[in-house]
Structure 1
Amino acid sequence: MNIRQRIGLVLLLCLFASIGSAFAQTLSTSPEQQSDAWWTGPMLANSAETLPPGHFLFEPYLYDIRTPHTDSFGSRAYILYGLVNRLSVGVIPVIGYNKVSNGPNSSSVGVGDWSLQAQYRLTEFHQGSWIPTIAIQLQETLPTGKYDELGHRPSDGLGSGVYTTTAAINSQTYVWLPNGRIVRLRLDVSEALSGSARVRGVSVYGTDANFQGLAKPGNTFFADLAMEYSLTQRWVLAVDFTYGHNGNTQVTGLDFADPSNIPSPQNVRSNSGSSAEFGVAPAIEYNWSPRIGVLLGTRVIFGGHNTVGSVTPAIAVNYVY
């Protein structure tokens, strides 16, 4: 994490702490209880809570990442289990399909990069206190998706080919407004570090059919400030505000063909450069009970430095048992 990212993290944490401190008196005197609002969670920010031992959470998402000339349809499901007090573990399976306007679509629905996750809760919010719920989360993303040797279908690329370790701090608190309704706030920050991948042929890294070499994605920093407003016990309005910074991805290797198709290895070295992006994700939630609800929202990524803008409508169901 560079100095700019660390300063941003400190500012976000200070903002979150000041919100909790400013409303501490309101929290301690409000007659409303947390059970007066049911939640599915915002579209993007992870919860800082952990499941009680022996309980499951199942939250599948369906989405369409829309960029110029491409629709990336996908499903990401969070399957979590309360292992012991304060500790939840789980798996995040991903599948996808790419539809493109300037080439062949994916040959079929394929598997993306799946992740394993563990979260340990350090503190827990109590009504009347300014201390939020805080948890440490570790996630290991596995290179299960296809990423190279794509031939004439680059759109079959749904993975990265690398192992990625992500460490995150998730936090959550509640604010009672003068009208008696409840606002739930989340602040999540994370840093992801990736290994390198051997690459052959056409790949998600933009290499051609004659390439052999290595790809090394840069580190990724991500911050998410989310707010949920309980219109009623069942209906909730939510929004995420996000910032992401991606480090340089380097590709090095050899290209084994010259223009006359005579094998003649040429050194290849390319750098994507770093990128930054800002996003917002408004959503609406409806909850049938404290255990099950549905979310409908849209994430909008604004084109920043070396970033292509995108619009991603999504729907998710959250079920705890």
Structure 2
Amino acid sequence: MLLGAAMAAHTAIAEEAPRFAGPLLSPAPPLPVGVINIEPYLIHSQVRGIYDGDGNRKDASAPEGWHLAVPVQYGVHERLTLAASFNATYNRDVEASRAFDIGDTTLSALIGLYKGQGPARPTLTLALRQSIATGHHDRLEDRPISVASGTGVGATSVGLHGQAYFIDGRLRMRASSLWRTPGANAGVHGQSAFGTPAGFDGRVRLGAAMTSLMAAEYSLSRTWVLAGELLHEREGESSVHGTRPGDAGRAEFHRRDPSSWRFSVVPAVQYHWNDHVALVAGAQVSLAGRNSTAVFVPQVAVNMAF
């Protein structure tokens, strides 16, 4: 009888436990062993203005673009999850031409450093990420549209992610910081994602970058969850060096782009069909920045665990 009562109580607690699918941007701790998580995103990027070197916002516009991201994660060990993110774009250029293109790919490893017990269940995770240049970043004059689908740069990033529960498990908080190491570079030819002209031949070199996130999810019920994130993006100085056609043969081309930053909020809502499938919808809205674009980026994702 005692065992039966205990099992019944455990089942009742499990049935009442809040469901969380994760915010739109903040990464999760390692998955349980053998679990696969797939979360395709449909993202609509819109430029609403620019922030100048003094942080003042000015009106500006650019062609809107659609982006498809499909992150896939697999729990290899209780402290290790391996992941890959596949990307594609459907963009329109200034001449209203449209084209579908493959984007860059990202490979990741999430390594559990700490997993606490008790009501808060805190975790600390080390993240290692490598981007692979599978998209198109240059020679855009030879492509259907002059919009890049990648950066051409294979960059390495290192991050720390933390998570904990509060208010009897109904509130989940996350904090994350991801640092891209400086010095990533790539060859650039012709028109490119870095604003080089037709006939250009040279290289681009990126500085360090930092992405910081604070996130919260609050369970209203087993079906509905409210989520919100604070996002700060910072890019170090980058440089472009090479040559381009001139009046007397090849002319030197050198440009240094200043550091930039942007602060955004990312509100979202989650709808859970069951313990394994949930819909997450929201938008990134930039509030301030310097030497960066002001953006509005609505997006929707379907989180599926198997």
Could you state the TM-score of these two structures normalised by the residue count of structure 1? 0.83
Q: Amino acid of the residue matched to residue 103 of structure 2? A: G
Taking the aligned partners of 1:196 and 1:181, their CA distance within structure 2 comes to 44
Give 1:51-70 correspondences, 5 Å limit: 51-67=31-47, 68-70=61-63
Partner of 2:57: none
Q: Amino acid of the residue matched to residue 137 of structure 2? A: Y
Taking the aligned partners of 2:224 and 2:117, their CA distance within structure 1 comes to 23
Structure 2 residue ranges without an equivalent (≥5): 1-12, 48-60
**Which of 82, 86, 101 is the aligned partner of 1:93?**
86
Q: Could you report, residue by residue, the CA deviation over 1:120-143 in whole angstroms, capped at 9, with x for unpaired residues?
A: 1112243335x6211001110001
Q: Could you report, residue by residue, the CA deviation over 1:181-227 in whole angstroms, capped at 9, with x for unpaired residues?
A: 71100000010125211111111111111210011122110100000
Taking the aligned partners of 1:128 and 1:296, their CA distance within structure 2 comes to 28
**Which of 167, 171, 182 is the aligned partner of 2:170?**
182
Q: Could you report, residue by residue, the CA deviation over 1:15-47 in whole angstroms, capped at 9, with x for unpaired residues?
A: xxxxxxxxxxxxxxxxx8795210111111111
Give 1:23-42 correspondences, 5 Å limit: 36-42=17-23
Give the total of aligned pairs: 280
Contact residue 234 and residue 259 of structure 2 kept, 8 A: yes
- What secondary structure does 1:162 align onto? coil
CA drift at 1:155: 3.4
Contact residue 125 and residue 173 of structure 1 kept, 8 A: no
- Quote the sequence identity (%): 28
Q: Amino acid of the residue matched to residue 187 of structure 2? A: R
**Which of 294, 301, 306 is the aligned partner of 1:316?**
301
**Which of 287, 293, 296 is the aligned partner of 2:281?**
296
Partner of 1:22: none
**Which of 274, 290, 301 is the aligned partner of 1:305?**
290
- What secondary structure does 1:225 align onto? strand
Contact residue 41 and residue 299 of structure 2 kept, 8 A: yes
Partner of 1:246: 235
Taking the aligned partners of 2:15 and 2:199, their CA distance within structure 1 comes to 60
TM-align CA RMSD = 1.9
- 4+ long deviations beyond 6 Å: none
CA drift at 1:301: 1.9
CA drift at 1:105: 3.1
Structure 1 residue ranges without an equivalent (≥5): 1-31
Partner of 1:138: 128
Could you state the TM-score of these two structures normalised by the residue count of structure 2? 0.86
